[in-house]
Amino acid sequence: MHLFVGTYSFSFAGVEGNGEGIYSVLFDPETGAFGEVRLVAKCRNPSSLALSGDKSFLFAGREVFKGDEPAISSYAVVSGAKLKAISTLLLAGELPCHLAIGAGHNRLASAQYWTGDVVVSTIDEGMFKPPTYLTREGRGPNIKRQDGPHAHFVAFTNQDTVLHIVDLGTDSIVSHKLSTGSVVLDTSTLRVSAGSGPRHMVINQAETRAWVVCELDESLIMLRRAGLGWVIDSVQPAFPTPLEEDGSASAIRLSPDERNIYISGRRQSQIAAFTNEGGSLGSYDCGGICPRDFIITPDGNWIISANQNSNTLTSLRRDPETGSLIQSGYSCKVGSPVALIGN
């Protein structure tokens, strides 16, 4: 299978940028080995990626501040792993950090971390229609990290009529019912523990359960659906609670069989494993430094970790029966990898 890898391409706000844009990498699902690494789109800080359902179009967020033109770009996927630029949508908000495409493949949302807003745009053959901006307000108790809203994740459910927003800055998960023109018709808001800093979410196929990783206190929240939004079933540590510093838990994934939840810890350079009911299966070294993002292959047999500070991708074999992980010993070099998606 082919992987697309988004990288930080220049340094900003204390972050090193050793990449040049979007890369493609061949991955062998039999051995866990990586093939040739190729630069397929030279662009600025494509730190979030989304692929259309038919895998014909790739979308990338340009995570930069206003002076460097924050944007979402679209590409046609050609011959499996080559990209052809199609369109760019400039954004009023800053630091787009997460993208989501609806199941109908014609609606895309982008979360802007720095300004806290969310953009929703209809897409047609990779072209963007005029967007709708959903603004956010509020703050949390952590002065350094929660001085305002910081939207960090978006996802569609209910045949793309409901948009869920995970907001690290306001310790909230907001669910909007949208009209066909992306006007908000109704809203449900779930408040989570003050200062926890919810970051990313995974939702099961039935759209009845969800799991959220909180960055700042490194906790795992298990949710169940309640009408438009969510209610909390339980909360537990994903990693030992940080005491004298903010946590840095990052990505969360649900295995294809929906039996296991996995969470990456950047401070620890580990991936923690859980049952879908929250039972801990232990933590595993990712094989690199600072696993900003990771994916689980469609067959459920591999986890591929994008290790930002070691400039590597690494593979870990997953045991579908136990949920445990073991390093394959294979890796490849990619400068500042921060986003992964399989093609």
CB-count exposure of residue 137 (10 Å: 0-12, 13-18, 19+): exposed
Q: What residue type is assigned to position 175 of the chain?
A: S
**Taking 90 as the threshold, does the pLDDT of residue 48 lie above it?**
yes
- pLDDT tens-digit readout, 199-231: 999 999 999 999 999 999 999 999 999 999 999
Residue corresponding to tokens 């350079």 = 269
What pLDDT score was predicted for residue 242?
A: 81
Model pTM? Answer: 0.97
The answer to whether the CB of 93 falls within 8 A of the CB of 70 is yes
Kindly state the percentage of the chain with pLDDT values over 70.
100
Closest of 112, 32, 40, 22 to residue 82, by C-alpha:
40
Q: CA Rg, the chain, in Å?
A: 18
Q: Indicate the residue type of 235.
A: V
Closest CA to 274 of 214, 220, 317, 201: 220
Q: Which amino acid, one-letter code, is at 144?
A: K
Measured over the CA atoms of residue 278, residue 283, residue 286 and residue 288, the dihedral's sign is positive
Q: Render 321-335 in DSSP notation, one character per residue.
A: TT--EEEEEEEEE-S
User: Shortest CA distance to 22 belongs to which of 37, 4, 3?
Assistant: 4
Mean pLDDT, residues 232-249 taken together: 92
Q: Summarize pLDDT for 156-191 with one digit per residue, the tens.
A: 999 999 999 999 999 999 999 999 999 999 999 999
DSSP string, 2-18: EEEEEE--S-BTTB---
**Taking a C-beta distance cutoff of 8 angstroms, is the pair 118, 169 a contact?**
no
Q: How confident is the model at residue 42 (pLDDT cuts 50, 70, 90)?
A: very high
Widest distance between CA atoms in the chain:
51
What are the tens digits of pLDDT across the range 101-156? 998 879 999 999 999 999 999 999 999 999 999 999 999 999 999 999 999 999 99
Range with the lowest mean pLDDT among 3-12, 258-267, 311-320?
3-12
Residues 294 and 339 sit within 8 Å (Cβ to Cβ): no
User: Which region among 10-14, 113-117, 329-333 has the lowest average model confidence (pLDDT)?
Assistant: 10-14
* Residue 319 Cα distances to 1, 148, 197, 299, 303, angstroms: 19, 41, 31, 11, 10
Confidence of residue 80 (pLDDT cuts 50, 70, 90): confident
At 13, is the pLDDT very low, low, confident or very high (cuts 50, 70, 90)? confident
Looking at every residue in the chain, the average pLDDT score rounds to: 96
Q: Which two tokens stand for residue 28?
A: 């062998």
| Residue among 195, 270, 207, 206 nearest 235 (CA) | 195
